[in-house]
Structure 1
């Protein structure tokens, strides 16, 4: 277990702020994916053609495909995680019902592992078990907060929205301006957005900002260079 348990009270569990930060981090990363993948797509198509309708069609198709893929992947992932957590809680519930004394001893040992003396750990385990045995074991033994299981529909919706918002930037930058301004405006706006998302992900993850921003911008720039080159070659070949 990596969570620390206060000596006099319930085990520490994710606070509302921690949950919100996790959601915000996921939203930033989802938006980043939308920016990079859609930018690579529309820049690649722009290398082959300057037709606004073609660029719009390709960009919208990429936006919808990417956002649906993100939402479906997140739904499956979170559903699997939630099912595993519910199964673990069901096992813990049965063990508490069938062998309460063994579970009390187990909780005492876990609390001792967090640095409590045997006497204090035993009393804390009794108090926690008396208040809510399942919640105590779930948090200390399993690292699960029964009150904060992630909703897969919420996760899917958040991923869909984040990707869509990110994808709209390169799409609009490519289809709205005049033909001569589309590519430079798209590249400039995408790189600026990647600076922001790189900074945001670094701050939320308590990581160094500069390397995160450089990786983000470098990856996005490389994606646009490669797809534009591929589009230009295909366009020149008449494919």
Structure 2
């Protein structure tokens, strides 16, 4: 009976963008709401600032992810083009290079050469992309997927503190937005760690810490500006 292991590395691309988007949505919007509320603004002004932050943040996340991952994709394409030219002009040298890679990984010289020959006969470019450049299909750059994932998760994350602020007028707004947002962050960190196979407690703790720090700092700034005004 064959044993199949469950790996999680294929989730790296979308998981990173989704967690970053949701985390940024919660932290930035909650911090914005708390900062404006600490300046003694009206609930209407607080909600308007939060909505503006949601729209601007979602578009910024989408654009940032798309540009960043597109640059990564361009670099990958350039490296693949170099490999194509090298295989066309120096096929035997590329075979030796691949054999050397396998030998460095622990194969003896004869076996490394045989593996390199067989793999290159089957798919020379694929073998070099995978073992020479170090690119895997599961980790290849997907700009549109990253942009959509990040923007949608930012919107979802930002909507959570906004809903709390909308439902909580008055003096309890800051405390309820802060506490609920920290709870959301802890749940997000734990979920991301669970999906990625990491420590749930560490995942929850690190996002909660940075979220609390951001909210505290914006509350101080908002309070200072409120006093000055």
TM-score, normalisation: structure 1: 0.85
Separation in structure 1 between the aligned mates of residue 88 and residue 159 of structure 2, nearest angstrom: 53
Would the aligned equivalents of 1:199 and 1:209 in 2 still touch at CA under 8 Å?
yes
Is 2:180 the counterpart of 1:218? no
Separation in structure 1 between the aligned mates of residue 52 and residue 133 of structure 2, nearest angstrom: 42
Structure 1 residue 180: Cα displacement: 3.9
RMSD over aligned Cα, in angstroms?
Answer: 2.2
Which stretch of structure 1 is more off in the superposition, 206-215 or 134-143? 206-215
Is 2:182 the counterpart of 1:191? yes
Separation in structure 2 between the aligned mates of residue 17 and residue 199 of structure 1, nearest angstrom: 16
Question: 1:126–1:89: structure 2 CA closer, same or farther, 3 Å change rule?
Answer: same
Separation in structure 2 between the aligned mates of residue 71 and residue 54 of structure 1, nearest angstrom: 26
1:116 to 107, 129, 133: 107
2:155 to 141, 148, 164: 164
Separation in structure 2 between the aligned mates of residue 157 and residue 148 of structure 1, nearest angstrom: 17
Q: How does 1:50-89 map to 2 (within 5 A)?
A: 50-89=41-80
**Aligned position for 1:155:** 146
4+ residue runs of structure 1 moved beyond 6 angstroms?
none
Would the aligned equivalents of 1:170 and 1:190 in 2 still touch at CA under 8 Å?
yes
Is 2:19 the counterpart of 1:28? yes
Would the aligned equivalents of 1:135 and 1:146 in 2 still touch at CA under 8 Å?
no
**Aligned position for 2:117:** 126
Separation in structure 2 between the aligned mates of residue 155 and residue 213 of structure 1, nearest angstrom: 23
**Aligned position for 2:223:** 232
Structure 1 residue 17: Cα displacement: 5.0
Structure 1 residue 188: Cα displacement: 1.9
Question: 1:205–1:117: structure 2 CA closer, same or farther, 3 Å change rule?
Answer: same
Which stretch of structure 1 is more off in the superposition, 205-214 or 56-65? 205-214
Which stretch of structure 1 is more off in the superposition, 20-29 or 121-130? 20-29
Structure 1 residue 16: Cα displacement: 8.8
User: For this pair of structures, how many residues does the alignment match?
Assistant: 224
